[in-house]
Structure 1
């Protein structure tokens, strides 16, 4: 069975129906395109330059990583208001580990190769442990996650302040800074290699899924529809790489790179930035979280519990232990985001992660995650994070004040929830 046929209706099916596209995803893509169009016109084309796209990309990474975890939390009918404060706590631990604790108590000099991995490990363990504590309080002690994480929002921000004694900690280890974006780049050659490899993997995933459906006798898209989706996927990946490669290194930085090697920049020489390491890290997180959501028992249990907690418990799912694991995963991702955020800023400041809880929840909800639970996608959260960052970047470029930017973000969040409620009501879903 290779194609689906519906007697009398096949010729009249719309292209959208034959492509079997998610209407929510189409709506988000339409909103994203509208944001791009408005700000491109308002900035005279500056919004779509390779430089601005590069900046938006690296600014999105930290929030997007946490948004993938927030999808699982909200799908489970919980909420995590502490992610910004938890990011600050993990960042404080990493900053103190690399600049003071390891050099003072373990004798590792600044710049030692072991400092960066040990500091990263300390931050990830801190985030995972605190997240597990939140999950234990919500799952086993029956405290609503809203209250647990609201308390965490207040507690961990101030524990981080005491950890650093209220000081800005820096400079950070040079290896760790590579995860920040602009300082850690792969340059065009490696970016093309990774882009082509990612394209091949995407095409393999599309066509292997089709073959698997055919082997089980399930309906599949027409061949032309699969070809269109394959072309769109390949075009998006390779186009993204081409744009980042087109952003040339500033002459000053290029000169410093050559001087560090004892060389002189050749006349007329230039090179593009390519993929930032932080973006590559985000891609790996997205792939891993998507596999967890779609291919593992853990992911299936999350969606089953979010869809009907009572039925899930009666079917044998340990929903309390599942809650602990979901919040521990959220904490781990907060630690990963702390790494990216402090590396991009090249220091730990007391205000790091401020209002990130708003941005992360908004990204998940705008991306189609239902607050009622049971529904949500990883790719939707990433698109939601991109929409949020594009809005803020565009408003900043046209001179909108920061308070009004926050007003717009709040309105967009309310609008997204309202649209989701209307959509679910139309489908007859509670």
Structure 2
């Protein structure tokens, strides 16, 4: 049985300084490869936008107001928010693909759930509870997750108990749920949505801000240290091999440096002057000069209005942690990899593969519901087009992130990095002038095929 913790080094890295370093730190070579690919994509778009298109970059000393390069706080902040809902669904797609199934309906589920959440708010909750009632967003969010989970359970039951292939069931779901999303509102856009609900989608007001982001980063670093110390203690208890102290310190330091660097980056993105003015107006206070026309946005007053980590990114982090624990620390996760490794052997060993299939697709549907919440909140509306073709990007993110279509292999962090790679390609092409969706689909298609080919080569190399 192959699982997430199986990081067998490829041939050629078993000896020498690189091999010894990877063995000591237990870093996954495939993870390093994905991070390297992401870095190359970022640097390529930054170089093209800066030196070919002549757009000023903050790397060259331009101000935030002037900078239009790829590696700017504004662009990377928006990139993180755009990655969130794809990454959330990709974590669920890992489970589906690991068990040798596929779900082509997640984008349509997202669109349908979004439309029903919009209708729930506009036609039922607001008239019943009153405009701006604080419980509207809570009821809507719970409804969205529950609806997505029910749809997923329904599809999973057909796959498990009726013996219909997952490809056919979810292909039918892609058409049925998209059609239902159109019919429920006659193709109309439902807007605006509840103000508190809209904060879930991010934006200047839908983020932690400067202080909250630094507090979050510090807490995250403390959590990382605790996780590593607990793991070391558990290894000692069970007489498992320990990482060298220097290797453990290096990995902890690297992760904390990434967390703190991310906090500094999102805090470098300052609110637009109009949002700062809106904030002061809502408090009944005088708008500072820096937020007025021609004001210095980098003055002490306005510079303190940092975006910080957006709520969708925090939701993605929470989902990623929960899914990682589920896949690596629970019986459910072991069963998932057992089914993916050998379904027949899993059945003979006593695993109820039918119930597991229903549970996996229920979870996938619930995650699509969470993605619908973020998508509708970010747009502040419910549209029939929401989630259109996102199922392809979700599947591609999981595969690019190292999930094998042959089953049995997949990682949560890989799927998120895969989502970030795909979103970076989309955002970068828009930035350099290739905003047409046709170009984006061509590039995503090439990336998907290349990822599968590299996975085949990797498997041959480690055998």
TM range (shorter): over 0.9
Q: Which residue of 2 aligns with 1:373?
A: 407
| TM-score normalized with structure 2 length | 0.88
Pick aligned residue for 1:259 from 258, 276, 281: 281
Q: Which residue of 1 aligns with 2:261?
A: 239
Query: C-alpha separation between the residues in 1 aligned to 2:426 and 2:17?
Result: 44
| TM-score normalized with structure 1 length | 0.95
Question: After the TM superposition, which residues 22-421 of structure 1 pair with which residues of structure 2 at under 5 Å, given as runs?
Answer: 22-44=28-50, 45=57, 46-104=69-127, 107-182=128-203, 183-267=205-289, 268=299, 269-270=301-302, 271-400=305-434, 401-421=436-456
Spell out, residue by residue over 1:243-284, the C-alpha distance to the aligned partner (whole angstroms, 9 max, x if none).
Answer: 001100111110110010011234531121111111111111
Report if the CA contact (8 A) 1:247-1:273 is conserved. Answer: yes
Aligned length: 418
Spell out, residue by residue over 1:291-330, the C-alpha distance to the aligned partner (whole angstroms, 9 max, x if none).
Answer: 1001111111111111111111111110000000000000
Deviation of 1:101 (Å) = 2.5
Report if the CA contact (8 A) 1:292-1:299 is conserved. Answer: yes
Report if the CA contact (8 A) 1:171-1:346 is conserved. Answer: yes
Deviation of 1:114 (Å) = 2.2
Query: C-alpha separation between the residues in 2 aligned to 1:392 and 1:402?
Result: 9
Deviation of 1:103 (Å) = 3.8
Deviation of 1:405 (Å) = 1.3
Report if the CA contact (8 A) 1:247-1:272 is conserved. Answer: yes
Deviation of 1:423 (Å) = 1.3
Query: C-alpha separation between the residues in 1 aligned to 2:37 and 2:376?
Result: 31
Spell out, residue by residue over 1:6-53, the C-alpha distance to the aligned partner (whole angstroms, 9 max, x if none).
Answer: xxx898953223222211111111111110110111111411110001
Deviation of 1:166 (Å) = 0.9
Report if the CA contact (8 A) 1:99-1:110 is conserved. Answer: no
Query: C-alpha separation between the residues in 2 aligned to 1:369 and 1:159?
Result: 31
Deviation of 1:111 (Å) = 1.5
Listed as ranges, the gaps of 5+ residues in structure 2 are 1-14, 51-56, 58-68, 290-298
Report if the CA contact (8 A) 2:100-2:407 is conserved. Answer: yes
Query: C-alpha separation between the residues in 2 aligned to 1:163 and 1:108?
Result: 23
Partner of 2:70: helix, strand, or coil? helix
Query: C-alpha separation between the residues in 1 aligned to 2:288 and 2:175?
Result: 54
Query: C-alpha separation between the residues in 2 aligned to 1:12 and 1:191?
Result: 35
Query: C-alpha separation between the residues in 1 aligned to 2:170 and 2:116?
Result: 20
Spell out, residue by residue over 1:55-91, the C-alpha distance to the aligned partner (whole angstroms, 9 max, x if none).
Answer: 0011111111100100011111100000000000110
Report if the CA contact (8 A) 2:126-2:133 is conserved. Answer: no
Report if the CA contact (8 A) 1:84-1:354 is conserved. Answer: yes
Query: C-alpha separation between the residues in 1 aligned to 2:17 and 2:407?
Result: 37
Query: C-alpha separation between the residues in 1 aligned to 2:430 and 2:16?
Result: 48
| Superposed CA RMSD | 1.4
Deviation of 1:125 (Å) = 1.4
Deviation of 1:109 (Å) = 2.0
Report if the CA contact (8 A) 2:277-2:288 is conserved. Answer: no
